[in-house]
Amino acid sequence: MLTREQYQQEFTTAVDKLMALMNAEWGSDISTSSAVEEALLVKVKFNLGDFPHDGKRFYINAGNYNRRSPENLARQLAREILFHRNICGRCGVGTPTLYQRLRATGRDELLRPTPADLVYPDTIERLLHPGLSVRLIRQIQALK
């Protein structure tokens, strides 16, 4: 594994070779600048049922730390697991997502809600999607 300085040096050498070739071929001088920065890589794996899953990868650096704080990444992971749990027939429960239930219980005359659409949001859904959960609860109550 190269250090940041070694990687920067090798990258600059490789870029310089390609820029020299472009200059010779096209006759125009192209200038470039680069910086190799250090970043954290957070890889997430989770088991849902008896089936292992590779979750998302998150790159964290000084420029995106506020958006990629540990709390925000935990919420994104929970959203990913919730979504997969709802839609996957193999390792999940096959419940329609909040969005699907909202649409099915809404005012669309073409859609008739099924019993699966009339499922109230669970605690995790309420935590991760409070606005949608409240809307779904109101729509289900209006149908009863």
Residue 20 lies in a domain: yes
Residue 26 lies in a domain: yes
Q: What are the tens digits of pLDDT across the range 44-72? A: 988 887 788 888 899 998 888 888 889 99
Residue 114 lies in a domain: no
Q: What is the 3 state secondary structure string of 37-50?
A: CCCEEEEEEEEECC
Residue 12 lies in a domain: yes
pLDDT band for position 110 (cuts 50, 70, 90): low
What phi and psi, each to the nearest 5 degrees, are found at residue 42?
-110, 115
**Structural domain containing residue 4:** 1-36
Measured from the Cβ of residue 117, the count of other Cβ atoms closer than 10 Å reads 20
Residue 21 lies in a domain: yes
Residue 44 lies in a domain: no
Residue 2 lies in a domain: yes
Number of domains in the chain: 1
- Exposed/middle/buried for residue 133 (C-beta within 10 Å: 0-12, 13-18, 19+): buried
Question: Which has the minimum average pLDDT: 9-18, 88-97, 111-120?
Answer: 111-120
Residue 97 lies in a domain: no
Q: Tell me the C-alpha to C-alpha distance, in Å, between residue 112 and each of 63, 90, 115.
A: 47, 26, 10
Q: Which residues pair with 52 in a beta bridge?
A: 47
Q: How far apart are CA 48 and CA 64, in angstroms?
A: 29
